[in-house]
Amino acid sequence: MNTATPVETRTDPHLSGVFAPVVDEVDVPDLPVEGGLPEEIDGDYVRNGPNPRFAPLGAYVYPLDGDGMLHRVQIRDGRVRYTNRFVRTPALVAEEAAGRALWPGITGFGQGPGADVVGPGLAHTPKDLPDINVVRHGGRLLALAESANPFLISAELETLGRETFCGTLPAGITAHPKVDPRTGEMVAFCYGLDEPHLTWSVIGPDGVITRAATPVEEVDRPVMIHDMALTEHFVVLVLAPFFFDVAGALQGGSPLSWEPDRGTRIALIPRDGGPVRWFHQEAFWLWHTANAHERDGRVVLDYVQWTLPGGLVRGASTGSLSRLELDPATGHSTRTVLADRNMEFPRIDDRALTASHEVVAVSLRTASGSVNDPDTLGWFDTRTGNLAVWQSSGLALGEQVFVPRPGDPDPGHGWWVTYATDRADLTSSLLVLPAADPAAGPVARVHLPQRIPLGLHGSWLPTSE
């Protein structure tokens, strides 16, 4: 039986203040709007993020621990509605019945509750953590975990159950699959402790698997990979030397080991199933990619680079927007820093995925502190090299997502949206910034009925799709 004590939430920086979990699930229509909400906006912004229902046991490792909670702002004909719901996994349902946490976090590896506590079906199983991202594909809304089964979510944000794609992907997929706008295919990867340690797969536009889990060659150890990129012809995976250490975890140590002497390997996987092409660089880590595309026979990847896995390894430097260029013909690769600022959460207009992109939106921390707690929004212009910024006055800001103007392919004719929380009174709002001049600040603020904890990733879901 797990004897770990609950974490003191009032003193944990990622369980208090702007990060503090919320437990109320509400559904509130007709929200007040400050400024002019563009009348063309019609759809849902849904964001996921870790939100422990009960005080975690033993330890809390942000951003990998915590129950998932979906926050949705729905815009229809100028009226705005807010809804939030937990992603109710079997473990969370059991904990709600008990009225307390029963599973430890990732540092309590192999210490799940026994059959006397949760019954034989859940005994000694790891807790599902679909708290990282949310996407819609093939008519399904999916709450995504870190290389595990997603959970299927209804139109009203109710949890319908674990999604295995009719049993064809029983191990699950990444939290960051990529959808090719040209083909409608969703490409994903999954890492695991057992062989094969790394696979990739393809899900067709209709949600049916067109490529089953396919092993990636020459991966002989379980390795953590958070994100991926996609081009017209390649899947791009960056394998930093961040390896799972099961033996160490069972003895009370960290489940992950940073081994920089092994360097970072980059895999270009031909989407037609051809052999993997490997590239080697000095050790670096990335949480998130912005996009990749092909240019003059090379693959160009824009991403946020760290010298260590920031947030998980002490001493990690701040993230900087960087570019990696890979030449499949020669095996040569180069790295360039595009903007050396304390940033994360790079996003583009998703309609440009796999092709060249003009703008990378990022969230920055200009004051001292963690990049997990941004106070500034930025937009890097890949054509000019300029980083435009909008610095808030006392707001904690999240990841930005692009909202296109319906029927207009110009990426300058849309909006960037993000959740923001006032650090003084802990009220939250949805900010709407014009893509043509985002540094001018929001054109509209939707005032939300409760605080939204700083969290992770989301999607814009147009009503027309």
CA distances from 271 to 101, 214, 275 (A): 43, 11, 10
| Mean pLDDT, residues 150-166 | 97
Residue 160 has pLDDT above 60, yes or no: yes
Encode pLDDT of 83-135 as tens digits: 999 999 999 999 999 999 999 988 777 788 999 999 999 999 999 999 999 99
| 97 and 119 Cβ atoms separated by less than 8 Å | no
Structure tokens at 18: 């702007």
Query: What mean pLDDT is reported for the chain?
Result: 94
What is the percent of the chain with per-residue pLDDT over 90, rounded to a whole number? 87
| 216 and 389 Cβ atoms separated by less than 8 Å | no
pLDDT for the residue numbered 168: 94
Task: State how beta strands 395-397 and 401-403 pair.
Answer: unpaired
CA distances from 394 to 32, 216, 346, 373 (A): 21, 46, 22, 12
| 241 and 263 Cβ atoms separated by less than 8 Å | yes
Q: Is the dihedral of CA 345, 348, 351, 355 positive or negative?
A: negative
For residues 294 and 296, what is the distance between their CA atoms, to the nearest angstrom? 7
pLDDT for the residue numbered 465: 77
Q: Give how far the C-alpha of residue 32 lies from the chain's centroid of Cα atoms, to the nearest Å.
A: 29
DSSP-based three-state secondary structure for 116: helix
Encode pLDDT of 263-319 as tens digits: 999 999 999 999 999 999 999 999 999 999 999 999 999 999 998 887 777 666 678
| Mean pLDDT, residues 236-242 | 97
| Mean pLDDT, residues 194-217 | 97
DSSP result, 434-452: ETTSGGG--SEEEEPSS--
pLDDT tier for residue 4 given thresholds of 50, 70 and 90: confident
| 398 and 363 Cβ atoms separated by less than 8 Å | yes
Encode pLDDT of 131-148 as tens digits: 999 999 999 999 999 999
Encode pLDDT of 20-51 as tens digits: 999 999 999 999 999 999 999 999 999 999 99
Encode pLDDT of 386-438 as tens digits: 999 999 999 999 999 999 999 999 888 999 999 999 999 999 999 999 999 99
| Mean pLDDT, residues 250-269 | 89
pLDDT for the residue numbered 318: 76
| Mean pLDDT, residues 181-193 | 97
Encode pLDDT of 320-335 as tens digits: 999 999 999 999 999 9
Enumerate domains of the chain plus CATH numbers: 17-462 (2.120.10.30)
Residue 252 has pLDDT above 80, yes or no: no
For residues 201 and 183, what is the distance between their CA atoms, to the nearest angstrom? 15
Task: Single out the residue of 416, 402, 288, 280 nearest to residue 344, CA to CA.
Answer: 288
Place of tokens 């929380």: 421
DSSP-based three-state secondary structure for 232: coil
pLDDT tier for residue 372 given thresholds of 50, 70 and 90: confident
pLDDT for the residue numbered 310: 77
Report the length, in residues, of the chain. Answer: 465
The tally of CA atoms less than 13 A away on the side-chain side of residue 121 is: 3
pLDDT for the residue numbered 154: 98
pLDDT tier for residue 2 given thresholds of 50, 70 and 90: low
pLDDT tier for residue 358 given thresholds of 50, 70 and 90: very high
Task: Single out the residue of 117, 118, 109, 105 nearest to residue 50, CA to CA.
Answer: 105
Instruction: Number of helices (H) and strands (E) in the chain: give both, helices first.
Output: 3, 33
